[in-house]
Chain A
């Protein structure tokens, strides 16, 4: 069964940092693009970042220069290093496999940026 499990969310102060992880299982992780998508409470979905199989990276304008996506194929893991966090970054962060569309999605991890 294909499964994605996020971790690393929590409460952080504005300006702080947090590192999210996504553990993948049930498929050949190195063969797929991977993505992070977030959703603020009561709001819509927002694509955050993606990484290709060759390590090429893509970011939304809202996080460029502050967030870094990476992957470790040997550990079937995806990461999102988030620096200079702002209140507007508060959201549930989902990791998703990039196949034909984002499929599947993890259950999400909540990041709260507040003093």
Chain B
């Protein structure tokens, strides 16, 4: 059971906008910045969003992040087939004194 709760799956059609939620608590999301990672099939994870809503260079602006209270969200607009991947949120947790990941959301592009 992950400390951060994500839906196990999400889906959308090409061009659509989808969101993936990440729910935590005051000891993690409520106190620290959230990160999002994309893991394409058979590859290592890649940083997608840092500091709640910042994109590293090279990440398309179709990807955006937001945070409110103890929850965060990743939005993907203009969905493309190559976005089909697993997405994970992550944050530092004060109670555990360590990093925690969400359980991951498998995105399917129909």
Chain A residues at the B interface, C-beta cutoff of 8 Å: 35, 37, 44-47, 50, 58-61, 94, 100-108
Contact yes or no, B44 A101, CB < 8 A: no
Contact yes or no, A101 B103, CB < 8 A: no
Give Cα A24–Cα B37 distance, bound, in whole angstroms.
Answer: 21
Majority secondary structure, A binding face = strand
Contact yes or no, A100 B50, CB < 8 A: yes
- Other than the given A59-B98, A107-B44, 6 more pairs (CB < 8 A) read A44-B88, A44-B101, A44-B104, A45-B37, A61-B96, A108-B44
Partner of A44, one of B2, B46, B50, B51: B2
Chain B residues at the A interface, C-beta cutoff of 8 Å: 2, 35, 37, 39, 44-47, 50-51, 54, 56, 86, 88, 90, 96-104
Contacts of B88 in A (CB 8 A): 44-45
Contact yes or no, A60 B46, CB < 8 A: no
Contact A104/B90 with A44-B103, A47-B99, A47-B100 known, Cβ cut-off 8 Å: no
Give Cα A104–Cα B97 distance, bound, in whole angstroms.
Answer: 22
Identify the interface centre among B39, B54, B99, B102: most chain A CB within 10 Å of its CB. Answer: B99
Give Cα A58–Cα B97 distance, bound, in whole angstroms.
Answer: 8
